[in-house]
Each structure stands twice: as C-alpha cells, then as structure tokens.
C-alpha cells in the first residue's frame, strides 16, 4: 500500500460512534449461508445496505444478534441482524430494547412481505404482524405493536398450491436482485426520515404499489424456526 492509498483509507474511515443508541433498526432474516439472498432475508439485505451507506460495519455479537453502531442524522443507531432465526426475532429485539430502555416507537423493523410484488415497499407507523412470524414474535414479547416498520415485497407464490415455506426460503433470481438493489437505495433514503420522526413523510414519499385489501397470507413454520 502506498502512502497515498493510506491517506485515502484514513480519509474514508468513519469516526467511531460513542454513547448508547437512541434508536434501533432491526432487519429480519435467517442466519447461515444457505439462506443468503433468499426471500425471507430481505430485511437482512436492506439493513446491510443501510450500514454500508452509514459507514458502519457488522461484526459485534450481542443481544443474540450481529450488530453495528451507526450515526445517521445526528442520531446514534444500533443496527441488528438477529441470530435467532426468524420465528424468535423478538428475543433479540426486546433484549436490546430493555438493555437500552428504548421504546417501541424508536425501534424500526424491516422485514419481507409476500403480499407485495418484489421490490415494493410499505412503510407504516405501527400495526399488526401482517402474518409475518418474525414480527409476530416481536409484538408478542414486547407487548406492543407501535413499531415503525418497512415491509419489503418479495412476491407472491407462483401458484396457490406452492408450499409457502419453500417459497419464502427460495432464492431471488438475478433480475429480482437487481430490483432489490434499487429498493435498498430507497430504504436508505426513507430511514433517515423515520429516524427524524417523519415516518408520515416517508410513507407518502416512498410507499409503492397498490394497497392490498385481501387478508395477509399467514406463514407456516419450516424447520429450524426459519419462517
């Protein structure tokens, strides 16, 4: 490495974030290489993109999660990728909430939604679990549903008889990954607004697709608690 490369590296390094987090952003997914780039890991994909934009690096394991500290809009933010598998995401999220005394209103959850087309976004201030087992566990263990959330579309099953567990654990196609890369850019624009308490503006600006009126599809529970 030349001295000029070293200077560029130093200039690109972000200062360490000090002090306890004021917000939590949790991206939901399943750990393990076999789940990489699968539909149920859309939450992981989005939060990894946000960490990269903020210059934060995952690698510290705490609260049953792979975590990173970031600073965005002057806010200290704990980024979390739970290690618990999807069904038990609430164990990780509520542990961090309790440790730092952070209320649900300052915990943003990013997760996949099979009722939206691939890449569509639905941002909400609060609400039900929408049939998603990870969100269901967070609401159950916290006793609250006032979590701001970003639902990322992963597409409906190819046909009604297709096994739901197999669908959500299937890999995205190359074209779908390109679409999600653009979606990640949008998520990275929406999150700073949500951290500023302007979730309504983020909803108006970034919600895409048509609101689905049908009852959300309820997930099943595949092996390893991965649903």
Q: Mind telling me the catalytic residues?
A: 40
Task: Tell me which DSSP letter residue 33 carries.
Answer: G
d(CA 32, CA 52): 20
C-alpha–C-alpha distance, residues 153 and 51, integer Å = 20
Q: Token pair for residue 157? A: 């099953």
Alpha-carbon torsion (103, 106, 110, 116), positive or negative: positive
Sequence-separated (6 or more) residues with CB below 8 Å from residue 13: 55
Contact 99, 202 (CB under 8 A): no
């Amino acid at each position: 490495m030349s001295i000029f490369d070293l200077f560029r590296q130093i200039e690109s390094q972000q200062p360490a974030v000090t002090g306890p987090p004021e917000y939590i952003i949790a991206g939901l997914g399943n750990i393990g290489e076999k789940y990489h780039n699968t539909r149920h890991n859309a939450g992981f994909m989005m939060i990894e993109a946000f960490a990269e934009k903020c210059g934060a690096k995952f690698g510290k394991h705490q609260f049953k999660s792979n975590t990173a500290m970031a600073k965005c809009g002057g806010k200290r933010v704990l980024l979390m990728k739970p290690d618990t598998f999807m069904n038990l995401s609430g164990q990780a999220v509520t542990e961090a909430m309790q440790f730092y005394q952070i209320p649900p209103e300052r915990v943003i959850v990013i997760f996949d939604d099979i009722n939206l087309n691939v890449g569509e976004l639905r941002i909400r201030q609060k609400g039900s679990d929408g049939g998603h087992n990870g969100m269901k566990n967070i609401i159950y263990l916290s006793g609250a549903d006032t979590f701001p959330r970003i639902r990322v579309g992963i597409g409906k099953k190819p046909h009604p008889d297709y096994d739901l567990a197999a669908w959500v654990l299937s890999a995205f196609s190359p074209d779908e990954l390109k679409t999600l890369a653009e979606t990640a850019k949008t998520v990275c624009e929406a999150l700073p607004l949500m951290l500023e308490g302007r979730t309504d503006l983020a909803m108006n600006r970034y919600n895409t697709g048509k609101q689905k009126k049908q009852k959300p599809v309820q997930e099943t529970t595949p092996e390893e608690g991965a649903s």
